């Protein structure tokens, strides 16, 4: 029996056929890419994802900015900035910031880990299809780089009135931005291709 591949966009079923090196198979119904003949390095993808999770913890537990005003030194964490925004009467902005800077990046990396760890072990996770659809939907909404730029601009503006220094959390966010850029650039079609070659979950 020939193996089947399901289009992640329209759920149309297709028979999998061998491709030439570099070849791409597309859905006959909607034209979306189904799979391609290109090796995928699960070890690299998983290593970057786990590194991103570690850096995420560092970025959110260490101060982003440290400032000294009138002899008093204060440290600002990510959640300090979000709560200050909320207390300033801009609750909607605070919620959007919490989602795009904290929740969505965390969910993205956890989702990649959920998919990659079992695939590397030779099996398909139980909720593979749902998680893959969620990953595709979350990709445009992770905005850590916007927060990073915003903090840098604020630090420059405050530097005339206070002694400003970047904390460990800021460097963590800089590295996290770089890692997220690489992780979210992963071709999700390759993971669908790998999953199609693994045995189905029990």
Domain residues of the chain, as ranges? 41-187
Residue 75, pLDDT score? 78
The answer for residues whose C-beta is within 8 angstroms of residue 100's C-beta and 6 or more apart is: 141, 142, 143, 144, 146, 147
Name residues of the chain where pLDDT drops below 70.
1-3, 37-40, 69-71, 140-162, 198-202
* Segments of 100-150 assigned E as strands: none
Residue 116, pLDDT score? 93
Whole-number Å distance between alpha carbons of 151 and 52: 20
Structure tokens at 38: 């290109």
Residue 1, pLDDT score? 36
Whole-number Å distance between alpha carbons of 132 and 143: 20
- The residue to which tokens 């460097």 are assigned: 171
Residue 54, pLDDT score? 94
Report field, pTM of the whole predicted structure over 0.75: no
pLDDT in tens, 128-177: 989 998 888 887 666 666 666 666 666 666 666 667 777 788 888 888 88
């Amino acid at each position: 029996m020939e193996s089947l591949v399901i289009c992640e966009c329209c759920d149309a079923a297709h028979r999998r056929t061998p491709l030439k090196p570099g070849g791409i198979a597309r859905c006959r119904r909607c034209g979306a890419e189904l799979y391609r003949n290109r090796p995928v390095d699960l070890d690299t993808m998983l290593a970057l994802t786990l590194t991103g999770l570690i850096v995420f913890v560092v970025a959110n537990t260490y101060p982003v900015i440290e400032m000294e005003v009138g002899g008093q030194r204060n440290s600002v964490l990510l959640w300090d900035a979000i709560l200050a925004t909320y207390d300033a009467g801009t609750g909607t902005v605070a919620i959007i910031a919490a989602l795009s800077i904290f929740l969505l990046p965390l969910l993205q990396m956890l989702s990649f880990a959920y998919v990659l760890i079992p695939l590397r072990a030779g099996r398909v996770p139980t909720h593979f299809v749902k998680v893959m659809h969620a990953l595709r939907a979350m990709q445009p909404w992770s905005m850590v780089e916007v927060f990073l730029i915003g903090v840098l601009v604020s630090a420059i503006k405050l530097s005339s009135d206070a002694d400003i220094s970047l904390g460990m959390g800021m460097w963590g966010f800089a590295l996290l931005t770089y890692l997220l850029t690489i992780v979210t650039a992963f071709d999700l079609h390759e993971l669908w291709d790998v999953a199609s070659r693994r045995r189905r979950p029990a």
